Amino acid sequence: MSTQRSTPPPAPRRGGATLQQVADAAGVSLATASRVLNGSARTVNAELSEHVREVATRLRYVSHGPAQALARATTSLVGLLVHDVNDPYFSAIAAGAMRVARERDLLVMVANTYRDPALELDYITRLGAQRARAILVAGSPPVDPALAEPLRERLLDYQHGGGRVVTIGDQGPEIDAVLPANADGARAAALHLTGLGHREIGLVAGPRGLVTIADRSAGFRAGLMASDNDPHGIEVEGDFTRDGGYAATRRLLAEHPEVTALFVMADVMAVGALAALRDAGRRVPADISLVGFDDLPICADLVPALTTVRVDTEGMGEQAMRMVVAEPDLSGEPDVADSEAEDPHAGRTVVHSATELVVRGSTGPVT
Amino acid sequence: MSTQRSTPPPAPRRGGATLQQVADAAGVSLATASRVLNGSARTVNAELSEHVREVATRLRYVSHGPAQALARATTSLVGLLVHDVNDPYFSAIAAGAMRVARERDLLVMVANTYRDPALELDYITRLGAQRARAILVAGSPPVDPALAEPLRERLLDYQHGGGRVVTIGDQGPEIDAVLPANADGARAAALHLTGLGHREIGLVAGPRGLVTIADRSAGFRAGLMASDNDPHGIEVEGDFTRDGGYAATRRLLAEHPEVTALFVMADVMAVGALAALRDAGRRVPADISLVGFDDLPICADLVPALTTVRVDTEGMGEQAMRMVVAEPDLSGEPDVADSEAEDPHAGRTVVHSATELVVRGSTGPVT
DNA sequence: GCAGGTTCGGAAAGCGCTTTCCAGCGTCCG
DNA sequence: CGGACGCTGGAAAGCGCTTTCCGAACCTGC
């Protein structure tokens, strides 16, 4: 009554019993309980061990992650940055990454950046604040250094702070990466098209600001150069969506009705392109051939089935997560389709993921 | 030399400066630094504040999430359980949930459960261990109580421990949920088909063990009953994938060539069904009509465009995340399309998300 | 000019856990 | 038979932060 210190009602502890409570109930020390329940190099007598475990179960003890993180100075969280999980390209990467994370007992924090540099920076900081063990950045960085540099620096900061970083797409020196062979695939697409006799070819690009697009475009043009019948490439740009592909294709068709083939740099856009072609009354591939990029699962079921460049998205996600988790000096056996190498730039690790042209029904000889 | 205690080289602190170091460098107390940098009810003199902030920036101070979590007894993490992020249905939910999470400054830990009950249990425990503030479970629970009960109990445990739980799909009393009007949509599909004169109708179901499928199937049959021309429903089961839909459809076609319409209970499967129909030489909709469920973005671009039941997946994800974050006694204004209500079962909150038949080119009158 | 109020910075007590160091004890070997 | 050693349990010192409680300084009004 006299005491002012009226303790507030001890709100039922969030999340059950404490290790201390378990230890007390089991009649052992905190140290012993910790060793039994949360793993340790030190071993504990089998019987005692069993007893502690029983008490813990009875008390519904659940370890306190943040406290462990604090004491151990490490967490089991990793971050994954994607442009948009709802885009099949990224959801496949995420699925691959999460599969590996699962094996390694890691929890994955996923964040949509919507390709907004400010959001990206913010998320990296926040993941750093959570002491995520690693950050995996999926999705093409911007071509513009003014946009790319801040991101890169923030990643480097994080990395210097002891975190691991792996990107899918090249973020420059010192940052490990897995890189899809965009140029190779695009080149193969060009060769395929010129081989079929096409000379007037439309390129439907995604946002030019992204290196992925720049690489695919450059690779395709390189393939064009390799042909001897002097093909023309006419490029238009569109948003990285179905509607972006639709709009860009309509524009291209209006301005250059002479094109007999289309190279669309992402399958999401190719879906729109196919619709645009249909709406414009152009038959595929009789009037015009169509090649996509990425090989989304839906491609094989479109009508006609889409010729496209396969990218092993899920595999890249897995590979990236594997690297993120591995000791920095990894020496894993490279995949058959992949090749691993020290980058000339710096001591970083770069894994190349092969791409492959998949010919289906949407391409045919020029008539 | 004599001392055995050779301190190991004090590895450069993971993640930069400590609040204490910032405080020291700024010549203020730990308490003040905390108040300035990490928000508090208490206010600090503007100049001092500015000074502390400067020092923090100079030292590249980044708050330590786990330590804050420990001290504050709460985190800014929420968990999201999905069957598979790589399935467009779930990636849309995830996108919706993540958008809201972003607004609320929450980090989302996403986990693929692959519909494996053991994995689900494990993830819930681990999210609990991380002291996730809430867990959002997307995806139909199993019909079998032997499978559903353990999950439900674990969720309840977590909830009693102070965490919030919201499910998309009904996990029973005491657990808040947002429920797509599966039965309504299926009923509308049935009415549509019988209205077109179809009497021999195939139902291509997903795994029967899931209540989502059970609901859709029951709803469809209810719609059939409402028709006066005595329609027949022949049901086959398939996996929740494109190939599952393909295989089930082929089987159905082989055994019941008389069907003139197909109701496929998920668009992923409908894509396979469409392929199976094509491969079997059946024209859609001339020979056979096709209705799907979910209205994935690709539906409108299939040939023919798929008639389907729209489910507001992204909206459900948003809604669920909003509930998860809201005070348990939420009283938000219900969406136009949604209706919120106290469940008769218990004091829980249930939000219904409307579904809507979208008629496109894949259905037509029976000939 | 002074009592009573208000601000605002600092000291210190944890939050739940890991891990080092120490102590007790049984064992082995010379 | 005694000392060295290995093994195992416990005490205690943090990990980085929040927050309560204090007290000093300053302000107000009479």
Q: Which of A84, A107, A129 sits opposite B65 (nearest CB)?
A: A129
CB contact under 8 A, A98 and B77: no
What whole-number percentage of chain A has pLDDT above 70? 90
Q: Are residues B241 and B97 in the same domain?
A: no
Same domain, B90 and B61: no
- Flag whether A248 is in a domain: yes
List chain A residues with CB under 8 Å of B75: 66
Residue B309's DSSP bridge partners are B293, B357
- B349 and B255 co-located in one domain: no
Residue A7, pLDDT above cutoff 50: no
Rounded distance, CA A236 to CA A296, Å?
Answer: 22
Q: List pLDDT tens digits, range B100-155.
A: 999 999 999 999 999 999 999 999 999 999 999 999 999 889 999 999 999 999 99
pLDDT higher than 50, residue A336: no
Q: Do B95 and A108 touch (CB under 8 A)?
A: no
Q: Which residue has the higher pLDDT, A48 or A286?
A: A286
* Bridge partners for B136 per DSSP: B80, B166
Which of A84, A95, A119 shows the shortest C-beta gap to B112?
A95
- Same domain assignment for residues B225 and B245: yes
Pair (B46, B163) in one structural domain: no
Q: What is the mean pLDDT of chain A?
A: 91
The b/e string for B26-35 (b: 16+ C-beta within 10 A; e otherwise) is bebeeebbbb
Helix (H) or strand (E) holding B353: strand B349-353
Candidate from B91, B109, B301 with C-beta closest to A107: B109
> Which residues of chain B from 199 to 238 reach within 8 Å of chain A, CB to CB?
none
Measured between beta carbons, the chain B residues lying within 8 angstroms of A91 are 85-86, 88, 91
Q: Does A365 touch chain B (CB under 8 A)?
A: no
Chain A residues with CB-CB distance to B161 below 8 A: 14-16, 62
Distance of C1' in D7 from CA in B67, Å: 34
**Chain B residues within 8 A of A102 when measuring between CB atoms:** 111-112, 119
Structure tokens at A125: 């900081």
pLDDT, tens digit (0-9, with 9 covering 90-100), for B20-66: 999 999 999 999 999 999 877 788 888 889 999 999 999 999 999 99
Asked if residue A190 is part of any domain, the answer here is yes
Is there a domain that residue A364 lies in?
A: no
Which residue of A lies nearest to B67 if distances are taken between CA atoms?
A70
Question: Which residue among A286, A312, A338 closes a domain?
Answer: A312
In the block, tokens 């910032």 appear at: B22
| Distance to chain A for B227, nearest Cα, Å | 34
Per CB-CB distance under 8 Å, the chain B contacts of A314 are 86
Q: What are all long-range contacts of B7-12, with beta carbons under 8 Å and residues at least 24 apart?
A: B12/A162
Distances (CA, A) of B13 to A158, A329, B9, B233, B327: 12, 21, 11, 67, 38
pLDDT at A207 over 80: yes
| Structure-token match 């940055």, residue found | A81
Within 8 A of B15 by CB-CB distance, chain A residues are: 128, 131, 161-163
SS3 A225: helix
Measured between alpha carbons, how far apart are the two ends of chain A, in Å?
A: 99
Number of domains in chain A: 3
Q: Is A302 on the interface with B (CB under 8 A)?
A: yes
Is A47 in the same domain as A153?
no
B52 and B197 housed in the same domain = no
A273/chain B closest Cα distance in angstroms: 10
The predicted structure's pLDDT at residue B2? 33
Whether B207 and B307 map to the same domain: the answer is yes
Residues 1-20 of B with CB under 7 A from strand C: 5
Residues B239 and B331 in one domain: no
The answer to whether the Cβ–Cβ distance between B73 and A107 falls below 8 Å is: no
Q: How large is the greatest C-alpha to C-alpha distance in chain B, in angstroms?
A: 99
Residue B363 is assigned to a structural domain of this protein? no
pLDDT at A223 over 80: yes
Interface of B with A in 49-68 (CB under 8 A): 60, 62-67
Q: According to the model, what pLDDT value does residue B16 have?
A: 79
* Region at A108 (left for phi over 0; alpha for psi -120 to 50; beta for the rest): beta
In a domain, A14, yes or no: no
Q: Is B331 helix (H, G, I), strand (E, B) or coil?
A: coil
Structural domain that includes position A42? 19-72
Same domain, A189 and A306: yes
Is the bond preceding residue A285 a cis peptide, omega within 30 degrees? Answer: yes
Of the residues B72, B87, B108, which one is the last residue of a structural domain?
B72
Domain match, B59 and B123 both? no
User: Is A98 inside any structural domain?
Assistant: yes
CATH of the domain at A59: 1.10.260
Contacts of B102 in chain A (CB under 8 A): 111-112, 119
Residue A221 and residue A242 in contact, taking contact as beta carbons nearer than 8 Å? no
Q: Which helix (H) or strand (E) holds B233?
A: strand B232-237
> Are the CB atoms for A61 and A16 separated by under 8 Å?
yes
Asked if A70 lies within 8 A of B67 by C-beta distance, the reply is yes
Q: Give the total residue count for chain B.
A: 367
Decide which of A333 and A132 is more confident: A132
**Helices B46-58 and B30-37, packing angle to 10 deg:** 90
Using the Cβ of A99 and the Cβ atoms of chain B, whether some distance falls under 8 Å is answered with yes
Instruction: Tell me what percent of the residues of chain A surpass a pLDDT of 90.
Output: 83
What pLDDT sits at residue A29? 93
Residue B6 in domain: no
One domain, residues B86 and B204: no
Please give the mean pLDDT across all residues of chain B: 91
Residue A14 φ then ψ, to 5°: -60, 115
pLDDT digits (tens, 9 = 90+) for A28-84: 999 999 999 987 778 888 888 999 999 999 999 999 999 999 999 999 999 999 999
The answer to whether residues A187 and A223 touch, using CB atoms and an 8 Å cutoff, is yes
A20 is near strand C: CB distance < 7 Å: yes
CATH number at residue B334: 3.40.50.2300
Q: Which nucleotide is nearest to A22 (CA to C1')?
A: C16
Which residue on chain A is closest to B105 by alpha carbon?
A: A126
Footprint of strand D on the protein (CB under 7 A): A 5, 27-32, 35, 42-45, 48, 67, 70-71, 73; B 13, 18-20, 30-31, 34-35, 37-40, 42, 61, 63-64, 67-68, 70-72
A4 within some domain: no
Nearest to A60 among B88, B157, B275 (CB): B157
Nucleotide nearest to A35 (CA to C1'): C18
Residues in chain A: 367
Cis bond upstream, residue A207 (ω within 30): no
Residue spans of chain B under pLDDT 70? 1-15, 327-346
Select the residue from A86, A116, A271 to test the B interface by mutation, using most B Cβ atoms within 10 A.
A86
| Amino acid letter, A38 | N
Q: Which chain C nucleotides are covered by protein, judged by CB under 7 A? A: 8-21
Å: B68 CA to C17 C1': 14
Query: Between the CA of B122 and the C1' of C19, what is the distance in angstroms?
Result: 28
Strand C within 7 A of A226 CB: no
pLDDT in tens, A235-275: 999 999 999 999 999 999 999 999 999 999 999 999 999 99
Q: Alpha-carbon distance B330 to B342, whole Å?
A: 11
Alpha carbon of B222: minimum distance to chain A alpha carbons (Å): 32
Q: What is the pLDDT of residue B336?
A: 39
* B275 neighbourhood in chain A, CB within 8 Å: 301
CA of A25 to C1' of C24 (A): 23
CA–CA distance, A210 with A56 (Å, rounded to integer): 53
User: Is residue A187's pLDDT more than 90?
Assistant: yes
Q: Do B271 and A298 touch (CB under 8 A)?
A: yes
- At residue A344, does pLDDT exceed 60? no
Residue nearest to nucleotide D14 (CA to C1'): A71
Beta bridge partners of B356: B310
Instruction: Inspect the interface and report whether the beta carbons of B63 and A129 lie closer than 8 Å.
Output: yes
- Rounded to an integer, what distance in angstroms lies between the CA atom of residue A94 and that of residue A88? 10
